[in-house]
Amino acid sequence: MSVTVHAPTPQQDRPAGRQQGGGSPKGLFDPGQLLRSLPDAVRKLDPRVMAKSPVMFVVLTGSVLTTVLAALDPGDWFGWAITAWLWLTTLFANLAEAVAEGRGKAQADTLRAARTGAVARRVIGRNEERVPGTDLRVGDLVVCEAGDLVPGDGDVVEGVASVDESAITGESAPVIRESGGDRSAVTGGTRVLSDRIVVRITAEPGETFIDRMIGLVEGAARQKTPNETALDILLASLTVVFLLAVVTLQPFAVYAGREQSMTVLAALLVCLIPTTIGALLSAIGIAGMDRLVQRNVLAMSGRAVEAAGDVSTLLLDKTGTITMGSRQAAEFLPVKGVTGTELAEAAQLSSLADETPEGRSVVSLAERDHGLRARHRDEQTGAEWVPFTAQTRMSGVDTGGRLVRKGAAGSVTAWVTGRGGSVPPDAEVLTELIAKAGGTPLLVAVEDSRGARVLGVIHLKDVVKPGMRERFAELRRMGIRTVMITGDNPLTAKAVAEEAGVDDYLAEATPEDKMALIKREQAGGRLVAMTGDGTNDAPALAQADVGVAMNTGTSAAKEAGNMVDLDSDPTKLIEIVAIGKQLLITRGALTTFSIANDVAKYFAIIPAMFAAVYPGLDKLNIMDLSSPRTAILSAVIFNALIIVALVPLALKGVRYRPAGADRMLRRNLAVYGLGGLVAPFIGIKLIDLVLSLIPGLR
């Protein structure tokens, strides 16, 4: 059978729901963290560390130079003031990065507590031997029973057990891990709560999932992303340009009889180069990954976070992602001559003996939509209950000479006809319509003094999760195309796709079909994101630009993806995309602010330096600063303080609102471009007013 991709019929979008992602404000910036991170910031003054950022290395060099010059002239308070604020600028830049890294240390400490030196029961032939967990190697088989810690990462190859993964996911509810299928992976440091399992080790000591998490949340394993590298090159180029400009400025100053001191030239250079974004660039990247960690998503690289921000096609599984993953009762459809309440009452009564999710959903629907009171089996005295079984595919109750049954259409039809009744034509029509729509029809029948007869049909369907249409509409405003992937037939897939509001769907999908779809999208220049949890998803996860593996999935899936969702919530992919976009927007916004800042500082320093020689330049002194010294010092102080002021924004991120690229660009220019121009004029003027009151600085 050929597999095709279809687009559902467009439907009117509902209003968008609440913006996902962006993080909770609480705990995003703790002023006390500044003090705790101060020792790390001082250690980062090492020139070998500073050299990684060309902009801040120039600031460090300027700080050292002015220190030497101030030491040669101890009585020059202006020189000492410039020196002090240049060192503070360097320290504040390091502090921003240290604070960002420090936010991951608490989680790293928690993870280290989970990384124990557990003793493993390694299987040797038919025997077991106890060995330290650090002696285990890939391929070893270990036995874990109730109360045991899992000694290393692996896959369950025998048995089924309840496992406490709270040390990893933070969720107290235990999870089931069993051999075979897509829920076989276990993580070292988790605890088995019941039963017995045999685990095949899949990671060497020191390379386990927890070890990788510790390195990533501490920032130790974070590599610069391509965008960061490109921005670094741009900032380095601007630094070289301004360095040349400052160097060539001195000959002109000498010629004009206004030779400038090296202290002033160093201050000028630091104020003109893009120190603000240079200081915050690393912190922005670390904070972006930290926002994912806060949502229990582990990104294997910063590149994956950035790619999430550029995703244009999103592949989502139907079951469990777009839909609830289990069939739910959606509607009672009575036949002619039967009221809806009569059908709902019989359906409720016959479902009390059905403990399946479908049976419970029938009871809930009857109570919710028809106002029936809640009933319990112990209320029905003398009742004979017929529990649901896979063999009979029916449930029901015999009470007071009345027999009630609910179940699969074939089973209930056979029960009714076996008792001399018949199925009315409208019940057959309803059953066929539900089946064609991709749902599951259940018949409800009774036998009483009027004989055996069918009361109506229950429409079971895999219910679309609440708010999904709004979230897909939100993604559409982001410029992201959504594709639902399902193994259902095209008719069912189309019905669910139309209800959910996705842009496209892939029906009767196989692993090869997923790969082919991803490659087609990428060939068109689009970045693709997808989720998966099974070994058969591994090739597609590896091929996708953003592959989010579920923590409940197999080791193969987690190795193939570049992100792991510790909560195993496939819908979180939508939040991951929003966080990626927020990271890119934050970096762009602060870059815009920084460059605009430099333009404003130019108007503060240059006129102050040469207005005495070239009176015409005084027209550029639009801030009417008190003196050349206070103007230069005010600009240096503002340059340092603005870094501290922007640390919370770098860590929290600029709020992302779904919009087109042109609209976001206009917003960035209006808010951060204009703000970057205006803020220095106000800030430098206020600082100048304060400095002008200090004797000896005028």
What pLDDT is stored for residue 514 in this prediction?
Answer: 86
Residue that the structure tokens 């709020």 belong to: 655
Strand partners, 328: 461
Dump the DSSP string for 610-622: HTTT-GGGGGG-T
Strand partners, 119: 132
For the stretch 148-204, pLDDT in tens is: 888 888 889 888 888 887 766 655 567 788 887 667 888 887 888 888 899 999 888
Residues carrying CATH 3.40.50.1000, the chain: 297-322+465-566
Consult the annotation and say whether 540 binds a ligand.
Answer: no
Residue 225 has pLDDT above 90, yes or no: no
What pLDDT is stored for residue 59 in this prediction?
Answer: 93
Sheet of 394-399: strand order equals: 323-334, 451-464, 440-448, 402-408, 394-399, 384-386
Distance CA 199, CA 158 (A): 7
For the stretch 467-514, pLDDT in tens is: 888 888 878 887 889 898 887 778 778 888 888 889 999 888 888 888
Consult the annotation and say whether 598 binds a ligand.
Answer: no
Sheet of 563-565: strand order equals: 5-6, 504-506, 481-485, 313-317, 528-532, 546-550, 563-565, 297-299
Instruction: Tell me what the mean pLDDT of segment 102-113 comes to.
Output: 60
> Burial of 225 by CB count in 10 Å (0-12 exposed, 13-18 middle, 19+ buried)?
buried
Fold of 324-463: Calcium-transporting ATPase, cytoplasmic domain N (3.40.1110)
Residues in the chain: 698
Catalytically active residues, by annotation: 317
Pick the closest to residue 112 from 231, 46, 206 (CA basis): 206
Residues carrying CATH 2.70.150.10, the chain: 137-204
Residue 83 has pLDDT above 90, yes or no: yes
Encoded tokens for 522: 């990428």
Pick the closest to residue 578 from 316, 213, 292, 322 (CA basis): 292
Domain 297-322+465-566, what architecture?
3-Layer(aba) Sandwich (3.40)
- Dihedral of CA atoms 282, 287, 288, 294 in degrees, nearest 10, equals 160
Question: What sign for the dihedral angle of Cα 646, 651, 654, 655?
Answer: negative
> Burial of 106 by CB count in 10 Å (0-12 exposed, 13-18 middle, 19+ buried)?
exposed
For the stretch 578-613, pLDDT in tens is: 888 888 888 888 988 988 888 878 777 777 777 666
Q: What is the pTM of this model?
A: 0.65
Residues carrying CATH 3.40.1110.10, the chain: 324-463
Judge: domain 137-204, CATH 2.70.150.10.
Answer: yes
Highest mean pLDDT, choosing among 72-86, 96-110, 308-322: 72-86
Consult the annotation and say whether 358 binds a ligand.
Answer: yes
What pLDDT is stored for residue 378 in this prediction?
Answer: 67
